[in-house]
Amino acid sequence: MKAVVIYESLWGNTAAVARAIAEGIGPEARAVSTGEATPQALDGADLVVAGAPLLGFRLPTEGMRESTRKEARPPDLSSPSMRSWLAAIPRGHARSAAFETRFRWSPGSAAGAIDKGLQAAGYARLAPPAKFLVQGKYGPLRDGELDRARAWGASLARAMQGVGGA
């Protein structure tokens, strides 16, 4: 079972969660940025997992990403947005799951938009979207969230066995 975990991450929290999810899925899973996740990288994947931060109550827009240049902590904008990545993905038949990093209290959802985008491209949902929580504006992740991400990855691998994809 080949799995790819794709992330958008401006301050590193979503990237860390993506790596933990890939660890949980197993040795056949790889975490890659939206910049690295070319159509070739997805080729032959049985499971596509994608995640992004919740910024301004939404999956980051190009405008929001641009405005983060003014933040006290410089963002990493070297990879494309998850929005533009989703708009360009080739149609596929892999299973999918979406996640986001965010505060506990916030309204809005990034993972919901990713989930919709993946399904629109033909990637059927394996599991409901997941949320992983940060402590402050730029992180770090709350204690235990990386363990929870690993456990979520392992649960996705088990669900894949259930649908005959392992």
Ligand X SMILES: Cc1cc2nc3c(=O)[nH]c(=O)nc-3n(C[C@H](O)[C@H](O)[C@H](O)COP(=O)(O)O)c2cc1C
Interaction site with ligand X (CB under 6 A) = 9-15, 53-57, 68, 71, 101-103, 106, 108, 134, 137-139
DSSP 84-144: HHHHHPPP---EEEEEEEE-SS---BSHHHHHHHHHHTT-EESS--EEEEBSSBTB-BPTT
The smaller minimum CB distance to ligand X, of residues 38 and 103, is found at 103
Which residue reads 């940025």 in tokens? 33
Nearest distance, CB of residue 138 and ligand X, angstroms: 5
On the CB side of 111, how many CA atoms lie within 13 Å of its CA? 19
Nearest distance, CB of residue 112 and ligand X, angstroms: 13
DSSP state of 97: E
Nearest distance, CB of residue 166 and ligand X, angstroms: 29
The smaller minimum CB distance to ligand X, of residues 27 and 136, is found at 136
The smaller minimum CB distance to ligand X, of residues 75 and 92, is found at 75
Nearest distance, CB of residue 51 and ligand X, angstroms: 8
